[in-house]
Amino acid sequence: MSSTRSSSNRRRLFPVPILADNYVWLWARGGHCLIVDPGEAAPVLARLDAEGLEAVAILLTHHHADHIAGAEDIRKATGAAVYGPRDPRIACVQHEVTGGDRIRLPALELDLEVLALPGHTRTHVGYFGSGVLFCGDTLFSLGCGRIFEGSAEALHASLERLAKLPGETLVCPAHEYTLANAAFALTIEPDNPGLRSRAAEAERLREAGLPTLPSTIARERQTNPFLRCREPAVKRAVGLADGDPVAVFAALRAAKDRFPSALRSPPRMP
Ligand SMILES: [Zn+2]
């Protein structure tokens, strides 16, 4: 598990595994925490209870059920305030947010920036602050979300935005997809040493029942093909040696959509 420190009180950042391969991120300071994308309530409420934590905020990145279905029950049980994008498909949001907004959570000593991240869905947002990024289904370790609404151009621009965040930023995506993504990424850049060691590390972590996340922006820049659309090796791998980054990204995303996904159900964390 990773943790960050504030001046007076240790912050703890950890994922609660739910459903097949989702993570609900909890970020705690003292006895308070925020919760990101609770697709289920019961495992999250059990963890709050076990850790003695009081939820002060629920942050939602996009409308898919595996990210929001538990939010209303957690709100009712805890009184936590629900933040999410302006989208009629997310009925439980109390505080609608849009790119550029800031969310202040004094109990956690946090000031988060809302990032507009369209591409996976039209209204997808991310949350960034104090060295941590919650990016939902936009950026995964070694991969990115599928394009359900919008365009390759939009998702590429969202990923470029994230790639410009400080390298040490902890990246907290909503799914444990690293092993399956590594299998695909290695077909694109088999000779990338950072990618090879990341794939080996992810295998060890999953065998031990541990999460491969959070990652960092620096590591994703080095290893994630979807952030490397300007690299000659990546361009050549999709047959677009002279292609512009958006065309390379679209070709990569299409190739990943066709890629066998036999590895997509890694063992659950304990
Ligand atoms: Zn989604």
- Answer yes or no: 156 catalytic: no
What spacing in Å lies between the alpha carbon of 232 and ligand 1's midpoint? 30
Q: In sequence order, which ranges of 117-231 are alpha helices (DSSP H)?
A: 152-163, 178-188, 193-207, 217-223
C-alpha distance across the termini of the chain, in Å: 14
Residue range 2-258, CATH number:
3.60.15.10
What spacing in Å lies between the alpha carbon of 168 and ligand 1's midpoint? 25
Q: What is the pLDDT along the chain (270 residues), one digit of tens a residue?
A: 444 444 446 899 999 999 999 999 999 999 999 999 999 999 999 999 999 999 999 999 999 999 999 999 999 999 999 999 999 999 999 999 999 999 999 999 999 999 999 999 999 999 999 999 999 999 999 999 999 998 999 999 999 999 999 999 999 999 999 999 999 999 999 999 999 999 999 999 999 999 999 999 999 999 999 999 999 999 999 999 999 999 999 999 999 999 987 544 444 444
- Answer yes or no: 175 catalytic: yes
Q: In sequence order, which ranges of 208-244 are alpha helices (DSSP H)?
A: 217-223, 232-237
The domain spans of the chain are 2-258
Per-residue confidence (pLDDT) for residue 202, from 0 to 100: 98
What spacing in Å lies between the alpha carbon of 154 and ligand 1's midpoint? 15
